[in-house]
């Protein structure tokens, strides 16, 4: 029994699985209960009597992360729980109220999706016994786009074109005949609504769902790490996996196996795991682990932060540590990265809300993250031999990164700001201790940012060993033949903008235009070509030797700008709002899309081409004609300046005796 989809019903759970070579549907009766506690039950005896009479409430003792709690168990739903809250004026503390029913059923039954019974969850080696198809609509996803051509890839490739009715009939018949378990579909969450509307208009059946029903997932604009995000509305079919391969962050980062691993370890079905953020996934994982351990999951957050004085806050709340680099070109540099630093600190230092004032007890967060951390370390090692593990490693990395952020999130089920502060405090101590070791060994520390150090000198292997021994945390090493730390506008070194040639010949870059999401494809291609040429140089002398060729690449792109495809000049950004107080490109893009009948929402990514920057005139990427050559020329120059900085360093400091370590500005 290999479960790949499930949903809650009025009286239980139904799920679909691969069993003995075919798809089976199971429905089970399952009514979960919630629990609540009161500091003084005698004040609410009338309410307790009514709840006992109507819903069979019973006294019980249940486990929380803080220990056993005396309270009451009620077999009823969300509305009853909220009524108890209101009746007690929010004095009642409720648990297990809003946990997904299918996730809770799996946890209590010892099951998890995308695996056979008894199979280990934390493994990258597992079977995927699914049949699949890939659907592609040959049109950009926008409100006015007609469905005039669709391609379906299964055992063969079929293309349906013509009128909307002809195309839709061919597509739906193909899905019905193939009867896939998995559908990979770029922009599925946009196109499924259009397909459903047109199928109803033409009176055609919708075979996408094996039960005929669809679950709706509403669109949502939300803030995440200081940035507005958008999740489009989705129609999720019963009995199949439907993955929007373009919009799903989990699929883009981890591929199909990344989605399946996220489902296996969280207990969420793949249709949800593919649509959620890493933060939601780590939260779901913690909830699932609590349920498996018989620990009640809080409904409302009440322990986000304790009462503290200003002096304590000033001492604790300092965030991550950064050593500012010199803006320069440096040679023979090693980068030492701590593997999953923050999660490792949580595990090694037993940091959890219930251990802040009781450090002697084993914490919930360290216990549940230990398995996930071990899994990540294992896949990180495996991916060097088996590239198929790389996607799984990326998903685990993102989940572990966000587990730290969730400890400080005010609504996190198992978070607390004091835990967040202790993690960053410990990380600062680790970075300072590592810097001290480097300096004791005569190494120069060029840069440091939260969980990694750039050092220069001999004895790096011994330095790495001593750091791991002193901190108990694994590290990774990368060696650069040369690296450039770029300047800020005031001339000081930027914290997160650099590029360099690794010893294997690959050029690694962070923070530059080629790495930014909103950089037009043409500018990215130019900068990548420039860096690829520079990657052939092993040192300063070699860089000077290829300078003319690099400048030639720059001139070719600069002169070819007016002949570039406008779509390659599209700027893609997430809009934070629909109305802007002042004039800006974001507001112009929103207005341009709305004029063409496209529905936009905060957090949505839009693509536009600048036609006239001075007058703030832009066109949607799919409807662009002329471009503002001066505006895009400035972007070309900006990209070139990031590369040209390396040559300026060389010309200003290079002499007959090449410096042994660095070339500074």
- The answer, yes or no, to whether residue 281 has pLDDT greater than 90, is yes
Report the alpha-carbon distance of residue 391 to residue 400 in Å, rounded.
14
What's the confidence (pLDDT) of residue 600?
Answer: 87
pLDDT at 307: 73
Least confident of 47-56, 223-232, 598-607: 223-232
Query: What does the pLDDT read at residue 146?
Result: 79
- pLDDT average, residue stretch 5-11: 93
Bridge-partner residues for 606, per DSSP? 573
* Residue 489: exposure state from Cβ atoms within 10 A (0-12, 13-18, ≥19): exposed
- Angle among Cα 93, 96, 98 to the nearest 5 degrees reads 105
Cα 605 to Cα 531, 574, 597, 628, distances in angstroms: 28, 4, 16, 22
Q: Which long-range contacts (CB under 8 A, 24 or more apart) does 508-512 make?
A: 508/478, 508/480, 511/486, 512/486, 512/639, 512/642
Residues linked to residue 64 through DSSP beta bridges, in sequence order: 67
Q: Which two tokens stand for residue 549?
A: 């060729």
Sign of CA dihedral 172, 174, 179, 182: negative
In 3D space, the residue among 246, 288, 229 whose CA is nearest the CA of residue 108 turns out to be 288
Supply the pLDDT for residue 660. Answer: 45
d(CA 568, CA 523): 8
Q: Given CA atoms 19, 24, 30, 34 in this order, what sign does their dihedral have?
A: positive
Report the share of the chain in percent with pLDDT over 70.
Answer: 97
CA 341 – CA 357 distance, rounded (Å): 23
pLDDT for the residue numbered 225: 64
- The average pLDDT across 186-214 equals 94
pLDDT mean over 294-322 = 80
Of the pLDDT bands very low, low, confident and very high (cuts 50, 70, 90), residue 125 is very high
The pairing of strands 182-184 and 241-243 is parallel
- Residue 2 CA to residue 425 CA, distance in Å, equals 44
Non-local CB neighbours of 390 within 8 Å, separated by 6+ positions:
383
pLDDT band at 311 (very low <50, low <70, confident <90, very high): confident
Enumerate residues 6+ apart whose C-beta is below 8 A from 628: 610, 611, 612, 613, 614
Helix (H) or strand (E) holding 49: helix 45-55
Residue 317 CB: number of other CB atoms within 10 A? 15
Q: H or E segment at 255?
A: helix 249-266
- Radius of gyration of the chain from its Cα atoms, rounded to whole angstroms: 28
DSSP 578: S
CB 522 within 8 A of CB 557: yes
Query: Which of 618, 535, 531 is closest to 573 using CA atoms?
Result: 618
> Is a pLDDT exceeding 60 seen at residue 657?
no
Could you tell me which residue, 294 or 579, shows the higher pLDDT? 294
Separation CA 596–CA 143 (nearest Å):
9
The packing angle between helices 278-292 and 101-109, to 10°, is 40
CA quadruple 570, 571, 576, 579: dihedral positive or negative?
Answer: negative
What does the alpha-carbon distance between residue 131 and residue 170 come to, in Å, rounded to a whole number? 20
pLDDT tens per residue, range 489-511: 999 999 999 999 999 999 999 99
Question: Measuring CA to CA, which residue among 304, 265, 397, 393 is closest to residue 342?
Answer: 397
pLDDT tens for each residue of 391-432: 999 999 999 999 988 787 777 889 888 999 999 999 999 999
The whole-angstrom separation of Cα 235 and Cα 243 is 11
Per-residue confidence (pLDDT) for residue 33, from 0 to 100: 94
Q: Is residue 450 pLDDT above 80, yes or no?
A: yes
Q: What is the predicted pLDDT for the residue at 238? A: 96
Please give the domain boundaries of the chain with CATH numbers for all domains.
Answer: 2-17+112-292 (3.30.420), 33-98 (3.30.70), 316-368+413-508 (3.90.1600.10)
Does the pLDDT of residue 581 top 90, yes or no? no
pLDDT at 132: 96
- Closest by alpha carbon to 483, among 646, 350, 319? 646
Task: Name the DSSP letter for residue 10.
Answer: S
645, 484 Cβ separation under 8 angstroms? yes
Which ranges constitute the DSSP H helices of 64-187? 78-87, 101-109, 164-178
| Residue 130 confidence class, pLDDT cut points 50, 70, 90 | very high
Q: Tell me the whole-structure pTM to 2 decimals.
A: 0.91
The dihedral formed by the CA atoms of 88, 89, 90 and 92, expressed in degrees to the nearest 10 = -10
What mean pLDDT comes out for the span 113-140? 94
Q: Helix (H, G, I), strand (E, B), or coil: what is residue 478?
A: strand
Which pLDDT value is given to residue 665?
A: 40
Confidence band, pLDDT 50/70/90 cuts, at residue 142: confident
Q: Does residue 93 register a pLDDT over 90?
A: yes
pLDDT for 654 equals: 61
Place of tokens 């979960």: 32
Token reading at 154: 């299964």
Whether the predicted pLDDT of 184 surpasses 80: yes
- Which residue in the block uniquely carries the two structure tokens 């300047």? 487
Q: What is the pLDDT of residues 60-70, one digit of tens each?
A: 999 999 999 99
Segment 190-202 mean pLDDT: 93
> Three-state SS for 40?
coil
The SS3 call for residue 20 is: coil
Section 187-195 average pLDDT? 93
């Amino acid at each position: 029994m290999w479960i790949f989809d499930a949903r809650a019903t009025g009286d239980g759970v139904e799920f679909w699985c691969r069993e003995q070579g075919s798809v089976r549907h199971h429905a089970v009766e399952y009514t979960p209960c919630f629990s609540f506690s009161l500091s003084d039950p005698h004040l609410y005896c009338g309410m307790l009597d009514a709840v006992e009479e109507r819903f069979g409430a019973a006294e019980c003792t249940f486990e929380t992360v803080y220990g056993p709690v005396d309270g009451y168990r009620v077999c009823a739903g969300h509305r009853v729980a909220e009524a108890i809250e209101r009746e007690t004026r929010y004095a009642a503390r409720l648990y297990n109220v809003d946990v997904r029913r299918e996730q809770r059923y799996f946890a209590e039954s010892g099951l998890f999706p995308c695996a056979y019974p008894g199979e280990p969850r934390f493994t990258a080696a597992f079977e995927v016994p699914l049949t699949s198809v890939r659907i592609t609509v040959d049109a950009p996803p926008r409100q006015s786009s007609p469905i005039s051509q669709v391609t379906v890839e299964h055992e063969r490739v079929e293309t349906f074109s013509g009128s909307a009715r002809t195309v839709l009939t061919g597509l739906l018949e193909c899905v019905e005949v193939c009867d896939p378990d998995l559908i990979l579909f770029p922009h599925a969450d946009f196109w499924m609504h259009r397909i459903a509307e047109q199928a109803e208009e033409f009176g055609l059946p919708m075979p996408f769902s094996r039960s005929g029903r669809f679950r709706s997932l509403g669109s949502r604009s939300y803030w995440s790490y200081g940035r507005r995000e958008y999740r489009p509305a989705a129609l999720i079919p019963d009995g199949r996996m439907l993955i929007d391969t373009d919009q799903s962050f989990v699929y883009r980062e981890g591929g199909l196996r990344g989605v399946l691993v996220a489902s296996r370890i969280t207990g969420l079905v793949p249709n949800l795991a593919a649509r959620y953020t890493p933060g939601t996934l780590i939260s779901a994982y913690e909830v699932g682990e609590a349920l498996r351990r018989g620990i009640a999951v809080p409904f409302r957050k009440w322990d986000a932060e304790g009462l503290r004085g200003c002096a304590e806050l000033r001492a604790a709340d300092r965030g991550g540590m950064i050593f500012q680099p010199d803006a320069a070109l440096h040679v023979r540099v090693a980068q030492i990265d701590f593997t999953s630093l923050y999660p490792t600190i949580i595990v090694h230092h037993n940091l959890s809300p219930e251990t802040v004032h009781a450090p002697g007890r084993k914490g919930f967060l360290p216990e549940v993250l230990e398995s996930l951390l071990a899994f990540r370390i294992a896949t990180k090692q495996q991916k060097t031999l088996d590239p198929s593990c790389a996607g799984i490693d990326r998903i685990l990395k993102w989940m572990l990164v966000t587990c730290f952020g969730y400890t400080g999130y005010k609504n996190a089920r198992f978070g607390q700001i004091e835990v967040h502060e202790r993690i960053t405090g410990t990380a600062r101590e680790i970075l300072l201790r590592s810097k001290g070791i480097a300096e004791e060994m005569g190494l120069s520390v060029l840069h440091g940012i939260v969980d990694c150090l750039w050092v220069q000198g001999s004895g790096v292997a011994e330095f790495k060993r001593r750091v791991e021994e002193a901190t108990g945390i694994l590290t990774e090493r990368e060696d650069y033949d040369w690296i450039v730390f770029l300047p800020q506008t005031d001339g000081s070194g930027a914290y997160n903008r650099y590029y360099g040639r690794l010893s294997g010949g690959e050029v690694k870059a962070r923070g530059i235009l080629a790495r930014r999401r909103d950089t037009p494809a043409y500018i990215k291609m130019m900068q990548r070509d420039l860096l690829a040429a520079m990657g052939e140089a092993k040192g300063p002398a070699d860089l000077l030797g290829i300078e003319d060729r690099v400048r030639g690449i720059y001139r070719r792109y600069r002169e070819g700008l007016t002949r570039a495809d406008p779509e390659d000049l599209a700027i893609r950004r997430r809009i934070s709002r629909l109305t802007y107080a002042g004039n800006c490109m974001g507001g112009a893009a929103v207005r341009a899309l709305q004029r063409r009948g496209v529905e936009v929402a905060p957090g949505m990514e839009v693509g536009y081409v600048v036609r006239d920057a001075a007058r703030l005139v832009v066109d949607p990427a799919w409807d662009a004609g002329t471009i503002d050559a001066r505006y895009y020329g400035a972007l070309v120059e900006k990209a070139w300046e990031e590369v040209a900085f390396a040559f300026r360093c060389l010309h200003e400091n290079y002499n007959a005796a090449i410096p042994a370590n660095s070339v500074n500005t």
